[in-house]
Every structure is written in C-alpha cells, then in structure tokens.
C-alpha cells in the first residue's frame, strides 16, 4: 500500500504518493503547504477521505476540550457564589 502525503492551499487539499518528489516541489512552488500527516491507503481517494476524517476528529476534540473547560470554570464560579451566599 502506498504512503501518501498531503498538501493544502486554502480549502483545497491534494494527496501525493510520498515518493513523488517532483509533484511535491511543483505543489510547493504553487503555494501549497505540506501537511504533517502521512497515511497508508490503497488509493488517493481513500487517503483523502481518511485525512478529512482525521481533521474533523481533531476539530471535534478541540471543540469538546474548550467547551468542557469553559463549562467547568462556570460551574466552579456558580458553586463559589452559592457557597458564599448560603454559608454567610
């Protein structure tokens, strides 16, 4: 199974086989940025689908982490206010 690397420019994502150095340099010259992820997949279509799934999962995890931290902070604040009001 070939290993694919990914290049991104704006919202456009392209996958190339890792061994395609000429294609990688062409994309870099056109302003594409090489992404950190490299995946093994049977074909380009499946590699791109998996890459998009990974990115969506990262966004979901980040969103969950941030909203969880905000909720916990608000909860601590509410508990502190309630404690101050009723323990006077």
- Please determine, for residue 62, whether its predicted confidence score (pLDDT) is greater than 70: no
Q: How many residues does the chain have?
A: 88
Q: How confident is the model at residue 8 (pLDDT cuts 50, 70, 90)?
A: very high
Classified as helix, coil or strand, 51 is helix
Provide mean pLDDT across the span 60-84.
75
Distance in angstroms (rounded) separating the CA atoms of residues 36 and 18? 12
Domain segments of the chain as ranges = 3-86
Distance in angstroms (rounded) separating the CA atoms of residues 11 and 14? 10
Pick 13 or 62 by higher pLDDT: 13
The 10s digit of each residue's pLDDT in 12-58 is 999 999 999 999 999 999 999 999 889 999 999 999 999 988 888 87
Q: Is the pTM of this model over 0.75?
A: no
Return the DSSP state at 30.
Answer: T
Sign of CA dihedral 23, 28, 31, 35: positive
């Amino acid at each position: 199974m070939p290993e694919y690397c990914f290049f991104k420019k704006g919202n456009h994502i392209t996958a190339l086989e890792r061994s395609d150095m000429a294609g990688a340099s062409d994309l870099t010259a056109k302003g594409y940025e090489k992404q950190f992820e490299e995946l093994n997949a049977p074909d380009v279509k499946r590699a791109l689908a998996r890459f998009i799934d990974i990115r969506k999962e990262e966004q979901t995890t980040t969103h969950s982490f941030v909203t969880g931290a905000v909720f916990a902070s608000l909860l601590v604040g509410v508990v502190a206010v309630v404690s101050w009001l009723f323990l006077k």
